[in-house]
């Protein structure tokens, strides 16, 4: 394998087989027969033994543990808003496939608050009572209140694109974390970043976006990042990169692979882990499909010179 420091080469298919057996045997609810089966499989062939040794070394590596922590732990400031990203004890690391399977149950508090919600990998168009249209990205949720005084929406999770029906008597307001966006008629996107800041990007019309008692006026093509400290500097990014998800594409230029994979991970009904920080830091440029996040991950790994081990199609591990 390219970049590997091991002296014994290991076939990729054997590595996949060893990792799947290893995780099954390490599960906290594993049957003793699973552990015995792993031992017998390793003893049956020196190549099996070498593959298992590679997996054990990778599993115990600091980089892999850090990847698990980053994947399973929430940013504490966003824990209340995003209840499904709860912190898991490291003792459950071997049960990562089990963790992937129970995310829906942890979404219950969010579902109780939301008027519209999307599942992983889903995009959904919602037409509001006033005729305005909201496109929800994957893993996104909104709460809606429309009455004679105004139109009030809260982005609870993820990202959404708003096409607002003009109505000067009833301003359209979107709240997201510390930020508020107010308009009368326009088209714009609002979404949470990985660090719980709020990103606003305007496609047409004008909006006023503010946080922490300060606001900025934005026109078509403008974008703004807001957090608890207030609004940042107005920028004018490439619309294809910021709004490509509306067309089912992930467009990026000279970005770290780890950042791109974090975005793809939002669309995968599972998890993408990177065991080597050097792989995550490699710069990539591309335009990839969001309806096939696993295939896009495999293509990006090939570009970056990384190997991918897949387990049941729901856990993708990039390594040297």
pLDDT tens for each residue of 113-171: 899 999 899 999 999 999 999 999 999 999 999 999 999 999 999 999 999 999 999 99
The structure tokens listed for 37 are 């089966």
Average pLDDT of the residues in 60-72: 55
The structure tokens listed for 171 are 């301003």
In the predicted model, is pLDDT for residue 97 greater than 50?
A: no
The residues spanned by each domain of the chain are 114-239
Rounded to whole angstroms, what are the CA distances from 197 to 177, 178, 183, 227? Answer: 8, 8, 20, 5
* pLDDT band per the 50, 70, 90 thresholds, residue 27: low
Instruction: Output the pLDDT for position 7.
Output: 37
CA distance 280 to 296: 15
What is the tens place of the pLDDT at every residue in 305-317? Answer: 999 988 766 788 8
Average pLDDT of the residues in 92-104: 46
Domain 114-239 part of CATH 2.60.120.1440: yes
Rounded to 5 degrees, what angle do the CA atoms 72, 270, 108 make? 70
Instruction: Output the pLDDT for position 310.
Output: 81
Average pLDDT of the residues in 42-55: 87
In the predicted model, is pLDDT for residue 85 greater than 60?
A: no
What is the tens place of the pLDDT at every residue in 243-289? Answer: 999 999 999 999 999 999 999 999 998 889 888 899 999 999 999 99
* pLDDT band per the 50, 70, 90 thresholds, residue 241: very high
pLDDT higher for 66 or 319?
319
Instruction: Output the pLDDT for position 184.
Output: 77
The pairing of beta strand 283-289 with beta strand 133-136 = unpaired
pLDDT higher for 99 or 190?
190
Instruction: Output the pLDDT for position 271.
Output: 86
Average pLDDT of the residues in 31-50: 89
Instruction: Output the pLDDT for position 89.
Output: 33
With CA atoms as reference, report the closest residue to 225 among 193, 260, 254, 255: 193
pLDDT higher for 90 or 120?
120
Q: Are 270 and 293 in contact (CB under 8 A)?
A: no
Average pLDDT of the residues in 35-46: 91
Average pLDDT of the residues in 182-188: 90
Q: Pick the range with the lowest mean pLDDT from 2-16, 125-139, 141-155, 225-239.
A: 2-16
In the predicted model, is pLDDT for residue 75 greater than 70?
A: no
With CA atoms as reference, report the closest residue to 100 among 287, 276, 269: 269
DSSP bridge partners of 225 = 199
CA distance 216 to 231: 7
What is the per-residue DSSP string for the chain? Answer: -TT---SS---HHHHHHHHHHHHHHHSTT--HHHHHHHHHHHHT-HHHHHHHHHHHHHHHSHHHHHHHHHHHSPPGGGTTT-TTS----GGGGGGHHHHHHTHHHHTHHHHHH-SEE--TT--EEEE-TTS-EEEE-TT-EEEEEEETTEEEEEEEESEEEEEPPP-TTS-EEEEETTEEEEESS-EEEEEE-TTS-EEEEEEES-EEEEETTEEEEE-TT-EEEEETTEE---B---HHHHHGGGGTEEEEEEEEHHHHHHHHHTTSSSEEEE--HHHHH-EEEEEEESS-HHHHHHHHHHHHT-EEEEETTTEEEEE-
**Mean pLDDT, all residues of the chain:** 83
């Amino acid at each position: 394998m390219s970049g590997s420091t091991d002296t014994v080469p290991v076939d990729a298919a054997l590595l996949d087989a060893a990792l799947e057996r290893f995780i099954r045997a390490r599960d906290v609810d594993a049957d003793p027969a699973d552990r015995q089966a792993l031992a017998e499989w390793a003893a049956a062939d020196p190549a099996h033994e070498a593959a298992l040794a590679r997996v054990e070394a990778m599993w115990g590596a600091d980089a892999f543990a850090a990847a698990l922590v980053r994947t399973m732990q929430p940013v504490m400031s966003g824990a209340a808003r995003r209840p499904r990203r709860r912190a898991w004890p490291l003792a459950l690391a071997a049960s990562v496939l089990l963790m992937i399977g129970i995310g829906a149950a942890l979404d219950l508090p969010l579902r109780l608050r939301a008027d519209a919600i999307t599942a992983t990998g889903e995009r959904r168009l919602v037409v509001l009572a006033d005729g305005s249209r909201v496109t929800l990205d994957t893993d996104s949720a909104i709460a809606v209140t429309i009455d004679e005084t105004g139109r009030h929406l809260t982005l609870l999770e993820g990202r959404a694109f708003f096409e607002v029906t003009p109505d000067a008597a009833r301003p359209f307001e979107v709240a997201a974390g510390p930020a508020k966006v107010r308009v009368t008629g326009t088209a714009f996107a609002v979404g949470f970043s990985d660090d719980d800041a709020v990103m606003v990007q305007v496609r047409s019309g004008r909006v006023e976006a503010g946080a922490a008692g300060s606001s900025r006026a934005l026109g078509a093509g403008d974008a703004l990042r807001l957090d608890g400290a207030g609004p940042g500097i107005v920028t004018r990014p490439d619309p294809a990169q910021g709004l490509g998800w509306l067309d089912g594409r992930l467009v990026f230029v000279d970005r770290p692979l780890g950042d791109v994979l974090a975005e793809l991970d939002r669309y995968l009904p599972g998890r993408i882990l990177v065991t080597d920080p050097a792989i995550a830091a490699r710069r990539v440029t591309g335009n990839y499909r969001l309806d096939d996040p696993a295939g896009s991950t495999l293509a990006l790994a090939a570009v970056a010179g990384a190997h991918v081990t897949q387990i049941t199609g729901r856990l993708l591990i990039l390594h040297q």
